Structure 1
Amino acid sequence: MADTLRKQQLCMARYIRDPLANPPPPGIEARRLAVYRQLFFGNVQSLLAGNFPVLQATLPTAQWQALIEGFYANHRCHTPLFTEVAGELVEYLQNLAELPGWVAELAHYEWIETALLLSDATEPGHDPEGDLLEGVPLLSNLAAPLAYAWPVDQIGPGFPALQEPDAPTLLLAHRDADHTVQFSRLAPLAHALLQSLHAQRLTGRQHLALLAEMTGGQEAAVQSHGLALLRRLKGQGLVLGTLATTQ
């Protein structure tokens, strides 16, 4: 009995996910199946439209519909939480080579705002008055340096996006104390420093030495500019201070 019920449930689930590729479960009229399909698929479609309004508005209607249908039919989510379905779509789009490259990047750009808004990350223990050069500067867990091949902050309805630009779009996403997510453009040096802070815990001096090596700049000049940048980032609340010595 239990085995039969499970088979019936799986048959119906497969049909609801992809009615073109799976037979309908026996004994249920087509009208009722269409209602179930619309309820389940419609909820997911509505949820994703709310999470990705710019992407939905920029893609042709038929292409957006096909994208969501493909996601619904083929992607296996790793979470039961509705608040995390948007991240699943971002993951799904990374593997769709047939789509223009800006589609996956625009989806990630829209998703990161939601991710930061919902984040319950706490900040690490730190010394707000620590030496940013000799200590280990700590980037806020609510700040994310981003790099895109496409100008995702400019893409929208009517944007042609026919050719990938020569220069990347470097951004910083950050959630303020009032739970507002802000985006700002970054210069290459600022992005490289923030990315280094995000990726590894080194002293400020070590971070800046790596930047000098990476850019081919004079270490003294990079250190001078970099220290000023670290202090500015701290004043903006993006760098918290330095790692507490008890950590």
Structure 2
Amino acid sequence: MLLHEDTYRHQAALADYCRTGQYNAIPGVREQHVGQYRRLVYNVVDDMLQSAYPLTRHLLSTREWNAMVKEFFSNHPCQSPQVWYMPRELYQYMTQKGHRLLRKYAFLQELLWLEWLEVELFMMEDRPTAYTTIGDLTTDPLVLNPEYALQQFVYPVHLKPAKEITAADKGQYFLALFRKPDSGEVTFMNLSPALVAMLELLQEGPQTMDALVRQCCAAWQLPVTADLLAAAKAFFTQALESRLIIGFKNH
């Protein structure tokens, strides 16, 4: 037990040094070589963050990016044992701290969250669900892709290059991010509030397009028109092709 405790303490001391750069003697570690550990660990962290947040890296200057990563690396003791999950802790660190970069770039928090969601959806466990690809869009209950997330943003971080987003773009934006079941590719669809409402109804279970339209129209006290049905059919046709809707209820 004592050996175990000593080993743990020495490992924790090395981890603290790698984060802070403040070295206290560690048995078995040569001070003249220990700097290599810190450099290697920092490079792994930086590479992981650049892979997770390529749009943010492109937005920030090299000086801003390096300062942000070094601050996070030095001040935040990562908790997750899974390396791929570490970039989420950057998002948490930035938001909890109210980081100055979030004040400089008003849309940065949403951009970070969008990029993290792509990683999370790509890495998430499979969510098997029963469905068939054979069916009629106008009559058969639709099955929603279970590997997806609905989001609302104030800035169009999913539609415009970050460097082109301005205060004039502020508004309400809705989208669905989802993982395609065959390729594992994560993509998104831009949505209207009405389409969001229909997808939320589909979360409860398979329903026909006609039932979805009628429920939404009833909730908003709108008439069911031919134009509205045509617009819904166009959306669900696209959703089936892109695999946001993965198919029909299997009878």
The alignment yields a C-alpha RMSD, in angstroms, of 3.5
Question: Mind listing any 5+ residue stretches in structure 2 that lack a counterpart?
Answer: none
Aligned partners of 2:166, 2:242: CA distance in 1, in Å? 36
Q: Which residue of 2 aligns with 1:71?
A: 72
Q: 2:24 maps to which residue?
A: 25
Structure with more helix by fraction: 2
2:143 equivalent to 1:138: yes
Equivalent-residue separation in structure 2 for 1:50 and 1:236 (angstroms): 25
State the one-letter code of the partner of 1:165.
D
For the residue of structure 2 that corresponds to 1:126, the secondary structure is: coil
Is the counterpart of residue 168 in structure 1 residue 185 in structure 2?
A: no
Percentage of matched positions with identical amino acids: 19
Query: Contact 1:149–1:164 (CA<8 Å) still a contact in 2?
Result: no
Q: TM-score, normalised by structure 1?
A: 0.73
Aligned residues, how many? 237
Q: Specify the alignment match of 2:42 in structure 1.
A: 41
Q: What is residue 131 of structure 2 aligned with on the other side?
A: 126
* AA at the equivalent of 1:82: V
Task: Report if the CA contact (8 A) 2:198-2:216 is conserved.
Answer: yes
Query: Relative to structure 2, which stretch is displaced further, 205-214 or 89-98?
Result: 205-214
**Counterpart for residue 147 of structure 1:** 152
Structure 1 SS opposite 2:176:
strand
Q: Mark the CA change 1:17 to 1:190 in structure 2 (over 3 Å): closer, same or farther.
A: same
**Is residue 112 of structure 2 the alignment partner of residue 110 of structure 1?**
no
Encode CA deviations 1:192-213: one digit per residue, 9 max, x unaligned.
323443x433644664455335
Aligned to 1:188: 193
2:56 aligned with 1:52: no
State the Cα distance separating 1:238 from its structure 2 match: 2.5
**Mapped pair 1:239 → 2:245:** yes
Contact kept? 2:48, 2:84, Cα under 8 Å: no
Identify which range, 132-141 or 9-18, moves more after superposition.
Answer: 132-141
1:46-90 alpha-carbon deviations (Å, 9 max, x no partner): 121122122112113333223323433315332x33333334434
Task: Identify which range, 58-67 or 47-56, moves more after superposition.
Answer: 58-67
